[in-house]
Structure 1
Amino acid sequence: MGPLISTEKLAAMLEGPAPPVVLDVRWRLAGPPGAESYAEGHLPGAVFVDVDSELAAAPGEAGRHPLPEPAELERTLRAAGVTGDRAVVAYDDADGSVAARAWWLLRWAGHTEVAVLDGGYAAWVAEERPVTTTVPDPPEGDIEVRPGGMPVLDADEAARCARAGTLLDARVPERYGGYTEPVDPRAGHIPGAINAPFTAHTDARQRWRDPDDLARHFVGLGVRSDAPVGAYCGSGITASAAVLALEVAGFAQHAGLYTGSWSHWSRDPRRPAATGEEPG
């Protein structure tokens, strides 16, 4: 299974002998809660998983969305019916950047058969595919979370990546440049980081760009196959989409994810912050 799945392929798999586990991870930084959208309608059989409380640990010194403890993540995934030998598909209702967090966590946990629904809930509904308000009661899964399936960066490693390779800042230009900062302690970006907004991974229909197009996009940002590459955002959510997009683009090396991201970096006043449009 590739990192993306079409609505057509998912619909066929759901009717087949081995349907995937489907996770609804709708979430918005400023609300309303994704659980409300899930209650109004979701894909048949989809289980809602909360980004804030289930796909992240409590906010604190490690940032706004730290990695969950492996045992806690395992309990969440098992409750959703995730097994070690069954594919998983995650979706949101925007551009896939939130669903990418679930994709990344499952890959980090050692599960390789996981994909993001291309076009998400909006594409599914636009094609008049079935939705429901019935909340499923899946059988307990048996997945064993084994961290290490995807590379993780800490603050020092992110700083080195920005100098030795390419560190992608997936936030919008206004936050990268330090012109505004609505949620974190300081404005700006990690010195040397390149602005690569997560919104550039999809087209006007919020469908993911094709692999060759994404490859040209990242090469234009300075990504090279012979140098380290990492990604961060505000709190480690949308930067997951950069990691996914790089895989779609065909880069063999998995990008490191600075999971604490700017919400962690900016907490320490000793860490420098660059401002403006240039990496610094």
Structure 2
Amino acid sequence: MSARVTTTVAELRELLASDEPPVVLDVRWALGDPHGRAHYAEAHIPGAVYVDLDTELAAPPSPEGGRHPLPRTEDLQEAVRRWGIRQGQQVVVHDDLGNTAAARAWWLLRHAGLTGVTLLDGALGAWRAAGLPLESGVPADPPPGDVVLAEGALPTVDAEGAAELARSGLLLDARAAERYRGEVEPVDPRAGHIPGAVSAPTGENLAADGTFLPAGELRERFARRGAGTAERIGVYCGSGVTAAHQIAALEIAGYRAALFPGSWSAWSADPARPAARGGRP
């Protein structure tokens, strides 16, 4: 693959002490928890910059675009410069939830043409477990960055493309298995899954300590779901957030996959789109 996906805690500690430290982005977000900024202020990696997923990593929600549409490139570039990222500078992204939210920032920045972007393996929990320092409060804004973003470096599909992948390729549903089966639906208009999609819950990408499973184990996990023989792979979730984590795991495993940004939130908002239930595609 074109670039590494993760940075270890030990590597980040060394990088932060180097002459060219990376920008560390703290994407503290969880479904149903609107207090990410307060969690960041309570304790974060020294020098880390808080990133708001709802307002900086997404455009306003809509039935057509889902709950977290991709932001416009010019809006994302404005945010990235506000975070202090300079051209060519390394970026390490994390959250406090196994990187299931932070992967959205990783994917967006990679999609915008930045290659030196990695996820802190194990997220904030790994930093804590290593006994490394944290700071509290909200620091002053960093000096503005000068990075220039493009778009389209990573593949995407729309609803029609997702439906086609479910028929002729491999479409993975990264949501929890009970949402895939249609037993519960806490946030979106209808329960179920895209017909033909295969269940592959994001949480199964991670070991018990919140780090990604080894590449070989991830490769076997996705091969069991058909990735080894599929010519094209796509991923969706509820709103295009945790699906980015699935794409990171697929990349570690050696597979390239496209994101359906609108995901189930957009699909289920269209009454003309069918919904399947149960444990089978």
TM-score by structure 2 length?
0.96
Q: Which of 246, 251, 255 is matched with 2:250 structurally?
A: 246
What are the equivalent positions in structure 2 for 1:1-280 lying under 5 Å apart?
A: 2-61=4-63, 62-134=65-137, 135-224=139-228, 227-251=231-255, 254-279=256-281
For 2:31, give the aligned amino acid: L
Aligned partners of 1:78 and 1:225: how far apart in 2? 41
Residue segments in structure 1 that go unaligned for 5+ positions in a row:
none
How many Å apart are 1:225 and its aligned residue?
5.6
Q: Which runs of 4+ in 1 moved over 2 A?
A: none
Aligned partners of 1:11 and 1:142: how far apart in 2? 25
How many Å apart are 1:97 and its aligned residue?
1.3
How many Å apart are 1:226 and its aligned residue?
5.1
For 1:18, give the aligned amino acid: E
TM-score by structure 1 length?
0.97
How many Å apart are 1:143 and its aligned residue?
1.3
Query: Secondary structure in 1 aligned to 2:54?
Result: coil
* Contact 1:93 1:122 (C-alpha < 8 Å) held by counterparts: yes
CA RMSD of aligned residues (A): 1.0
Query: Secondary structure in 2 aligned to 1:89?
Result: strand
Aligned partners of 1:191 and 1:137: how far apart in 2? 46
What's the CA shift string for 1:133-176, capped at 9, x where partnerless? Answer: 25143111111121101011100000001111110000001110
How many Å apart are 1:224 and its aligned residue?
2.7
Q: 1:90 to 1:136 in 2, by over 3 A?
A: farther
What's the CA shift string for 1:168-213, capped at 9, x where partnerless? Answer: 0000011101111110001100000000000000011111101011
Aligned partners of 1:202 and 1:160: how far apart in 2? 29
For 1:51, give the aligned amino acid: L
What's the CA shift string for 1:82-105, capped at 9, x where partnerless? Answer: 122001000000111111111000
Size of the aligned set, in residue pairs, is: 277
Residue segments in structure 2 that go unaligned for 5+ positions in a row:
none
Identity %: 48
Aligned partners of 1:198 and 1:82: how far apart in 2? 29
Aligned partners of 2:34 and 2:160: how far apart in 1? 35
Q: Which moved more, 1:156-165 or 1:126-135?
A: 126-135
* Contact 1:45 1:136 (C-alpha < 8 Å) held by counterparts: no
Query: Secondary structure in 2 aligned to 1:206?
Result: coil
How many Å apart are 1:32 and its aligned residue?
4.3
* Contact 2:170 2:230 (C-alpha < 8 Å) held by counterparts: no
How many Å apart are 1:267 and its aligned residue?
0.7
Query: Secondary structure in 2 aligned to 1:53?
Result: helix
